[in-house]
Amino acid sequence: MTRFCQVLPLRISVQMEPSVIPTASSNSNANVGTASRPAGAMPDEIPEGVTENAPEGPQGLIERPALVGTSWVKNIWYFALPSDHVKKGKTVSMNLLGDLILIGRKSDGSIFAMRDICPHQGAPLSFGRFDGNQVSCPFHGWKFDSDGVCTDIPALCSDQQVNVCKIKTRSYPCQEADGNIWLYYGEPRAEMPDIPRAHGLDGLKYDQTVSRVIVPTHMDYAVVALIDPAHVPYVHKSWWWRNDSALKEKKKLYVPAGTGWTMVKHKPSKGSLLFKLIGDFLETEIAFRLPGCRTEYIQLFGRTAVASMTTVTPIDENTCELNHTSYWTFTGWKWLLKPIVNAMADEFLGQDLQIAQRQQIGLKFKPKLTMIVKDSGLPGSWYFQGKREWNNATEEGRKFVNPIKERVLRWMT
């Protein structure tokens, strides 16, 4: 029997209360020169010499709410999990993007994703049977294909006619790239955006491993921390890495690229033991792309030796995932390198988790924050500018215009 079903566009709407909304305050009686926004500046752009929510004084104040923790980037791809975590003929249930999502790999090796909730009486489909093509609900045996469309209701008698294909559970577009599975959050469209990619690996064979940690904060705070260069010597202290004992000035060129920016290729700092030994022969490039993806690769004598991709994926309005994918191009040593790389990545992510937990102690009191302090804070400001522009552009059906301008940033670290 052939079923003719009209597939309607998917619209996802997540209603969220902000975990924290810091706001800029003013003293109407204060005789200070409040800075006005330059013509054509983005609302989140900080004018030269002005910090957000700055104390009264020559720097002035910016009168606007800081929209931190109020929304996600939508109509875009988010990291889900490593490809090898979903075996052929198997499914994995995940709590992501404000939903319970079932990700599976069919018998032919293709992947699919759908809401892991039966539209009949709400039982998770992941507790049912997956035959490599269809999922059966554990409650009443209803079957759904990989597009989330109902194909069978076993309780129906032969003379009871029901158009079962009108019964659906939400389907999520999904794709694989660089050894990982990505989910699309938003309204599918004819021209889908690009998936963030790990840079520096084109044409190279590589091994990889992924470390994961769940962070108790809205993704905005996690992304800002991810691209904040000033926290490294204070948060990521390790005997084999670096500390805050000797701060030095850094000066890097940032250029707009894709949905974010790239810190152009440069010699890495020699804060760690390894970089002190071979840093003269290394070059590194760091980049950021929406919705929350930081990539880096390091070249030795002009060839990529290692690369990484760190992604932020929201679970709900108060929780998100940090996934760090490590790549290395000297293959054949995975049995030895994987546990070493995982140990290092787990230590870094554990440090990020610890500071996020401590940050939440203060944030629960909803303080007013000075989020942007030049120059080290500007990447965070760029994230909010890009996020707003992307959401507006996709809603209005127009091309995204990267709001970031080429700029040299300086900071102590």
Q: Which domains does the chain have, with CATH numbers?
A: 76-185 (2.102.10.10), 207-412 (3.30.530.20)
| 101-111: burial string, b at 16+ Cβ within 10 Å, e else | bbbbbbeeeeb
Q: How far is CA 175 from CA 38, 74, 184, 269, in A?
A: 42, 17, 8, 36
pLDDT at position 286 is 96
Cβ atoms of residues 35 and 43 within 8 Å: no
What Å distances lie between residue 204 and 198, 310, 328, 336, CA to CA? 12, 20, 10, 20
Which pair of tokens denotes residue 48?
């030269």
Nearest CA to 76 out of 199, 218, 196, 231 is that of 196
**Per-residue CA distances from 294 to 38, 79, 104, 184, 210 (Å):** 30, 12, 27, 18, 14
Task: Specify burial of residue 269 (Cβ count, 10 A radius: 0-12, 13-18, 19+).
Answer: middle
> Looking at residue 190, what is its pLDDT?
86
Tokens of 311: 């992604």
Peptide bond into 375 cis (omega under 30): yes
Q: For residue 356, what pLDDT is reported?
A: 94
- CA distances to 138, 186, 194, 386, 401 from 395, rounded to whole Å, are 38, 10, 17, 14, 13
From first to last of its 413 residues, the chain has per-residue pLDDT tens of: 333 343 333 333 333 333 333 323 333 333 333 333 333 333 343 333 333 333 333 333 333 334 688 899 999 999 999 999 999 999 999 999 999 999 999 999 999 999 999 999 999 999 999 999 999 999 999 999 999 999 999 999 999 999 999 999 999 999 999 999 999 999 988 899 999 999 999 999 999 999 999 999 999 999 999 999 988 888 887 765 665 567 888 899 999 999 999 999 988 776 666 666 666 778 999 999 999 999 999 999 899 999 999 999 999 999 999 999 999 999 999 999 999 999 999 999 999 999 999 999 999 998 888 877 889 999 999 999 999 999 999 999 999 999 999 999 999 88
Phi and psi at residue 41, to the nearest 5°: -75, 145
Extract the tokens encoding 215.
């962070």
Q: Which two tokens stand for residue 123?
A: 């039982």
pLDDT at res. 271: 62
